[in-house]
Chains A and B, each alone.
Chain A
Amino acid sequence: MPTEVILPKVDMDMTAGTLSVWHVAEGDFVAKGAPLFDIETDKAAMEVESPASGHVHNMVAPGQSVAVGAPVAWIYAKDEPVTAPPASAARADGVGTAPSIVPPRPAAPQPAAPQEVHHDPRQRATPAARRLARETGVDLRHVAGSGPKGRVQRADIDNRAHGQPQHGAAQLPSGWSVQPGDLHLTRRAGRDTAPLFLIHGFAADSTGWAPLERALPKDQPLLRLDLPGHGKSPRRSLRSFAELARAVVAAFDASGADQVHLVGHSLGGALALALADIRPRKILSLTLIAPSGLGPEIDAPVLNGIARASRVESLLPWLRRLTADPDRLGEDYARAALRGRLDPQLRAAQLDLATALFPDDVQAFDLTAALRRVTARTAIIWGRADRIIPWRHALAARGDMALHLLPECGHIPHIDTPETVAGILARQMA
């Protein structure tokens, strides 16, 4: 009798989840306890271990929503004949529909993550959103859904059809196109030790880590990621935090890194948290600098202002909001920051990303559950004078996590006071 693999309940309110990627192919041998697949819920994403050793068959196709307790695959002993999937032994709660089963097929490598350009033609949308989309000629597949599980709500279509009045649509660059290719990752070699894996925040890029790098030991190996539509990474159409997190996990997997000390700032902090949730065994320590995802409040006009700015004069006032001491940031800094932002398509892509991630100026994703699950040593660094995300979101931390609440420091402690952050990282890596 093969062992049934079910979709586990990983979150309290969870009734269904999306099986995002398999770590094995049909027929592969898997050892008990080895990573088997990743699931995503509307709140979290995580890796699921195999409940038994054997060969995996009758796997559910990735990308589809599966009810909690429904089977996603069966594990067969070595010489056990593989038949049609047995009737499910138990349904946990009778919720949802049984998943459709893909027929056995020759072993083929699974794509690490779905390509963002391939939209699911069956986009979730409320009936009201569909009607409005029909009437206004909006293609639902190009709308970021703000509802549960990425569902497009009527308001999402309203925003699309009428621009984003709350963000001042007048200066929007017109349109942008998706680019192919992998996310850009730069490496700094060093001594033979686990590298720091750095994920920057919204509208920044990996060059923003330079002050911190100067404060770190010269031989500390580094991996720096540019997020989609940021720095030297290709622009992608991302409709939700989950899609963005998927892209980051795929880039992490592709980096070949064995184990890393993970650092994320702001949006990168939320992504680091998601990555630590999905790849817990790969993360030796987790350092979150003013992370998003721990509460709804965020000063979205600043993010939009930075993303939109095309001149030093329009960028500098927003940049000054990032730091506790505005005089520290002069026109030179703004000019340098603007050099990486000259491409209008990059700015447009970032504005669209801001709309998907922060609809109505709210952080639309919640990673507090992931924070509770983290197994790696975790530190949260926050400036007490942060004007972008309230430092009190740090209080979502578990009691055994280190909080470093830096006085006279704004949203960018790694730039305001890189020595302090480097010191904390040294303790994290000890």
Chain B
Amino acid sequence: MNAPAHPSRTLSYAEALREAMALALESDPNVVLMGEDIGVYGGAFQVTGDLIDRFGPDRVMDTPISELGGAGVAVGAALTGLRPIYEFQFSDFAALAMEQIVNQAAKMRFMLGGEASVPLVFRMPSGSGTGAAAQHSQSFEAWFGHVPGLKVVQPSTPYDAKGLLLAALADPDPVIIFEHKLLYKMKGDVPAGHYTIPIGKAEIRREGTDITIIAGAIMVHRALEAAETLAADGISAEVIDLRSVRPIDSATIIASVCKTGRALCVFEGVRTLGLGAEISALIAESDAFDYLEAPIMRLGGAEAPIPYNPDLERAAVPQVDGIERAVRKLVGGEV
């Protein structure tokens, strides 16, 4: 990480993202923003905000309501020298643009023998908790994490949101940044000026000795809240913020599990075939296996589309009490 030389201010997660984009637009004439309603309207979640006023419609472009078309234009622009940031209104709509993301952006460098690259960033507001129901609440990190040629990050703090977006922009290959919708209003210290957070590096948010909780995005905060309660009962949980889904920071995870002997994976995406499964397997295949004191456990999204009913929506993804219960089971020797 480049040590930020500027003083910190308190910004929201959305403001931190906007600041990163503004810095990029200022410093690199090749950077352009594209997306539906990101101009005058300021974006579905007001992340681009007033950038159109500052940089004009040539740099901040409203694209038609066609994710496939918009993403295709972005891929083409990246191939021919620009550094586009394409915003999906909801990550769910990336399903419409799968061809461009998976078959074009991710493959181009390899199929052209390294002669070309696709330096673009897809911004994807994701996750549940906003009452937006089944088609606007999904968590697709594992989907895109499954595709070689893509990089996938999911910042959990304003500081990381800015640093990871700037790192994504500096990357020569397509990077998807999942922005959790419930985090947009979260405040935190964010240094002014340019800094990056290396893609592929997890962060230990809390140190502990009894169990390692590996989490991403909003789940990091739920895990930290659970860890606080558990600490009062003498259970010391280490919380790892995965931050980067592809590439995954296996070294940090393995070292931590070697220390604690227990692992709990907490992700919002559907549990089956999800991030928790991947991390469980990488632990089981690693040196950490010999240090395990209990089965590796996963918490994740339910086997159901995200419901509209708020109680059901809450029940469909891991919550603080569920994390706490799982840790007590693992540490208490119940499983």
Q: Are B333 and A131 in contact (CB under 8 A)?
A: no
B334 contacts the other chain (CB 8 A):
yes
Q: Are A131 and B334 in contact (CB under 8 A)?
A: no
Binary contact readout A134-166 vs B (1 if CB under 8 angstroms, 0 otherwise): 000000000000111000011000000000000
8 Å CB contact of B291 from A131, A147, A153:
A131
Stretch at the interface among A26-34, A122-130, A224-232: A122-130
Known contacts A128-B261, A148-B335: A153-B290 contact under CB 8 Å = no
Instruction: Specify which chain B residues have a CB less than 8 angstroms from the CB of A127 in the assembled complex.
Output: 289-292
B335 nearest CB neighbor, chain A only: A148
CA distance A76 to B281 in the complex (A): 43
A15 nearest CB neighbor, chain B only: B335
Instruction: Specify which chain B residues have a CB less than 8 angstroms from the CB of A153 in the assembled complex.
Output: 293, 333
Instruction: Specify which chain B residues have a CB less than 8 angstroms from the CB of A147 in the assembled complex.
Output: 333
8 Å CB contact of B334 from A129, A148, A154:
A148
Binary contact readout B90-107 vs A (1 if CB under 8 angstroms, 0 otherwise): 000000000000000000
8 Å CB contact of A130 from B261, B290, B294, B335:
B290
CA distance A154 to B335 in the complex (A): 14
A140 to chain B, nearest CB (A): 14
Within 8 A of B (CB), among A103-130: 126-130
Q: Are A128 and B333 in contact (CB under 8 A)?
A: no
Q: Could you tell me how many residues of chain B have their Cβ less than 8 Å away from some Cβ of chain A?
A: 10
Q: Are A128 and B293 in contact (CB under 8 A)?
A: yes
Instruction: Specify which chain A residues have a CB less than 8 angstroms from the CB of B290 in the assembled complex.
Output: 127-128, 130-131
Q: Could you tell me how many residues of chain A have their Cβ less than 8 Å away from some Cβ of chain B?
A: 11
CA distance A131 to B293 in the complex (A): 11
CA distance A127 to B289 in the complex (A): 6
Most A-side CB within 10 Å, residue of B289, B291, B293, B335: B293
CA distance A68 to B291 in the complex (A): 30
Instruction: Specify which chain A residues have a CB less than 8 angstroms from the CB of B333 in the assembled complex.
Output: 146-148, 153
A430 to chain B, nearest CB (A): 42
Q: Are A128 and B291 in contact (CB under 8 A)?
A: yes
CA distance A154 to B333 in the complex (A): 11
Within 8 A of A (CB), among B288-302: 289-294
Binary contact readout B250-271 vs A (1 if CB under 8 angstroms, 0 otherwise): 0000000000010000000000
CA distance A389 to B313 in the complex (A): 47
B333 nearest CB neighbor, chain A only: A147
CA distance A388 to B291 in the complex (A): 37
Within 8 A of A (CB), among B275-319: 289-294
Q: Are A128 and B335 in contact (CB under 8 A)?
A: no
CA distance A130 to B290 in the complex (A): 8
Instruction: Specify which chain B residues have a CB less than 8 angstroms from the CB of A131 in the assembled complex.
Output: 290-291
A55 to chain B, nearest CB (A): 39
Instruction: Specify which chain B residues have a CB less than 8 angstroms from the CB of A146 in the assembled complex.
Output: 333
Q: Are A128 and B292 in contact (CB under 8 A)?
A: yes
Q: Are B292 and A126 in contact (CB under 8 A)?
A: yes
Most A-side CB within 10 Å, residue of B294, B334, B335: B294
B291 to chain A, nearest CB (A): 5
CA distance A153 to B292 in the complex (A): 10
B295 to chain A, nearest CB (A): 9
Instruction: Specify which chain B residues have a CB less than 8 angstroms from the CB of A130 in the assembled complex.
Output: 290
A155 nearest CB neighbor, chain B only: B293
A364 nearest CB neighbor, chain B only: B333
CA distance A128 to B260 in the complex (A): 11
B233 to chain A, nearest CB (A): 16
CA distance A379 to B293 in the complex (A): 40
CA distance A232 to B262 in the complex (A): 45
CA distance A127 to B295 in the complex (A): 9
Instruction: Specify which chain B residues have a CB less than 8 angstroms from the CB of A148 in the assembled complex.
Output: 333-335
A134 nearest CB neighbor, chain B only: B290
Most A-side CB within 10 Å, residue of B290, B291, B335: B290
Binary contact readout A271-312 vs B (1 if CB under 8 angstroms, 0 otherwise): 000000000000000000000000000000000000000000
B258 nearest CB neighbor, chain A only: A128
B291 nearest CB neighbor, chain A only: A128
CA distance A107 to B290 in the complex (A): 44
Instruction: Specify which chain A residues have a CB less than 8 angstroms from the CB of B261 in the assembled complex.
Output: 128, 154
A362 to chain B, nearest CB (A): 11
B256 to chain A, nearest CB (A): 15
A41 to chain B, nearest CB (A): 13
CA distance A409 to B294 in the complex (A): 43
CA distance A148 to B294 in the complex (A): 10
CA distance A146 to B293 in the complex (A): 12
CA distance A130 to B291 in the complex (A): 9
Instruction: Specify which chain A residues have a CB less than 8 angstroms from the CB of B294 in the assembled complex.
Output: 126
A20 to chain B, nearest CB (A): 22
Binary contact readout B11-54 vs A (1 if CB under 8 angstroms, 0 otherwise): 00000000000000000000000000000000000000000000
A132 nearest CB neighbor, chain B only: B290
CA distance A283 to B293 in the complex (A): 41
Instruction: Specify which chain A residues have a CB less than 8 angstroms from the CB of B289 in the assembled complex.
Output: 127
CA distance A282 to B330 in the complex (A): 39
B28 to chain A, nearest CB (A): 49
CA distance A126 to B291 in the complex (A): 8
CA distance A146 to B334 in the complex (A): 11
Within 8 A of A (CB), among B68-122: none
Most B-side CB within 10 Å, residue of A128, A131, A147, A148: A128
Instruction: Specify which chain B residues have a CB less than 8 angstroms from the CB of A128 in the assembled complex.
Output: 261, 290-293
A67 to chain B, nearest CB (A): 15
Interface residues of A (CB under 8 A from B): 126-131, 146-148, 153-154
By Cβ-Cβ distance, the 4 closest A-B pairs, closest first, are A131-B290, A127-B292, A128-B293, A127-B289
Interface residues of B (CB under 8 A from A): 261, 289-294, 333-335
A sample of 10 inter-chain contacts (CB < 8 A) reads A126-B293, A127-B289, A127-B291, A127-B292, A128-B291, A128-B292, A128-B293, A131-B290, A148-B334, A153-B333
Besides A126-B292, A126-B293, A148-B335, 20 new A-B residue pairs in contact (Cβ under 8 A), listed by A number: A126-B294, A127-B289, A127-B290, A127-B291, A127-B292, A128-B261, A128-B291, A128-B292, A128-B293, A129-B293, A130-B290, A131-B290, A146-B333, A147-B333, A148-B333, A148-B334, A153-B293, A153-B333, A154-B261, A154-B293
